[in-house]
Amino acid sequence: MMRSSDQQAFRGATPVEQGNPADDLRMFRRCLSQYGTGVAIVTTSDGTSRFAVTVNSFSSLSLDPPLLLWSIDRKSRSFDAFSSCEHFAVNILSSEQIELSRHFSSKVTDKFANVDWIPGRFGSPLLSGCIARFECSAEARHDGGDHLILIGRVQQLERYDGMPLIFSQGQYSIPLEHPDAPGEPAAMAAEKPNTLANNVLQLIFNAHHALSEAFEEHRRAEGVSIAVARVLATVYGHPGIKVDGIAAQTYLGQRDVEDAVVELARKSLLVHAQDGGMRLTPSGVALREAIGERWIAFQNARLESIPSSDISVLMRTLTRLIDPAAQERAATAAVSGG
């Protein structure tokens, strides 16, 4: 039983990084971001002003009594409001709300000015388009180092249709469901005579997974993280761009962009102008171009043995699957053409 002594057999024996988190806060953050989370906007009101923070520290806590928790950075500009409020609302973001997440984590002064919301029964703003909303009374607060833990007792909730927004490994993403259990298409067992759509969806799922993994492995071989590679590419393509612009273009979190910028600057691959805009140094440009060339070679190797006519049909058919109206137009054209 004791495989524990057999360290040779222990898989995954080489960590990408390891150590004491107190020695390297960015490493700690990268490790924490291995745990995927949703994204929530927590709001409150003191009767005159409204406050909001974007968090990924939300967690369910207790069913009976109905409790949830989240934590707020003591340096947040809304800290005083949340550390003393009697009520708050938790708005769970959908996959369509990346912009809203960015908006509420930005430094905009009146965050509610151009946002669709209504006051909840205790005055906390409820945001439109969310997939769940919890109106809470503040039940307890606990010290949490540089954060404060807030426990809410849920008084009222709502659930809406939609897919959740996911934040994972520094990037916004959406959850990709397993289309079916391996081996046995259990959910569709009755449709055995016609499983074409299941098979197509399964193949698309597998193709996306396989290509993402291959590309990811390629990026890893470059010795740079996804965040660093994306920031490098974006500054290369848009000299003078600022952190906000990079976050918006790459689906990376703001803090992950900031960390990547610090790393690139430390390696003298990137420099800041006085206005906050960034440019690559000559060695940054050279690294970016080397990565770019290897990327093209990798793509070619991956695709070269597939006839270009097959690639055309693949892309045309995927486009028609995405937009059934395009299907109808094509069908009509085919009929009138024949």
Interface with a second copy includes 305 (CB under 8 A)? yes
Query: For 168, which DSSP code?
Result: E
Binding footprint of a second copy, residue count (CB under 8 A): 163
Contact 136, 68 (CB under 8 A): yes
Q: Does 266 bind a second copy (CB under 8 A)?
A: no
Report if residue 157 touches a second copy, rule: CB under 8 A: yes
Give the contact letters, 16-55, x = binds to a second copy (CB under 8 A), - = no: xxxxxxx--x-xxxxxx-xxxxx-x---------------
DSSP string, 80-123: HHHHH-SEEEEEEPBTT-HHHHHHHHS--SSTTTTS-EEE-TTS
Closest separation in Å from C-beta 20 to a second copy: 6
Window of 60-68, 81-89, 263-271, 276-284 that interacts with a second copy by CB under 8 A: 60-68
Please name which of 17, 72, 12 lies closest in space to residue 263, comparing C-alpha atoms.
17
By CB under 8 A, the residues from 70 to 129 that bind a second copy are 70-71, 92, 110, 112-113, 115-119, 125, 128-129
Q: Which is nearer to a second copy, 273 or 314 (CB)?
A: 314
Question: Could you check whether the bond before residue 175 is cis, i.e. omega within 30 degrees of 0?
Answer: no
Contact criterion met (CB below 8 Å) for 250 and 231: yes
> Does residue 302 touch a second copy according to CB under 8 A?
yes
Plot region of 57 (φ>0 → left; ψ -120 to 50 → alpha; else → beta): alpha
Closest CA to 287 of 232, 225, 243, 219: 232
CB of 163 to a second copy, least distance (A): 8
Residues in contact with 66: Cβ distance below 8 Å, sequence separation at least 6, in sequence order: 153, 154
Spatial contact of 215 and 295, defined as CB atoms under 8 Å apart: no
Report whether 132 contacts 138 (CB < 8 A): no
Query: Segment 174-193, which members bind a second copy (CB under 8 A)?
Result: 174-178, 180-181, 184, 186-191, 193
Confirm or reject binding of residue 286 to a second copy (CB under 8 A). no
Contact status: 318 vs a second copy (CB under 8 A): yes
The stretch near a second copy (CB under 8 A) out of 101-109, 264-272, 274-282, 304-312 is 304-312
Q: According to CB under 8 A, which one of 172, 269, 270, 287 is a site residue for a second copy?
A: 172
Rank residues 110 and 275 by Cβ distance to a second copy and give the closer one: 110
Gap between the Cα atoms of 314 and 302, Å rounded: 15
User: Closest approach of Cβ 320 to a second copy, in Å?
Assistant: 6
Residue (3 or 107) nearer to a second copy, CB: 3
Residue 257 binds a second copy (CB under 8 A): no
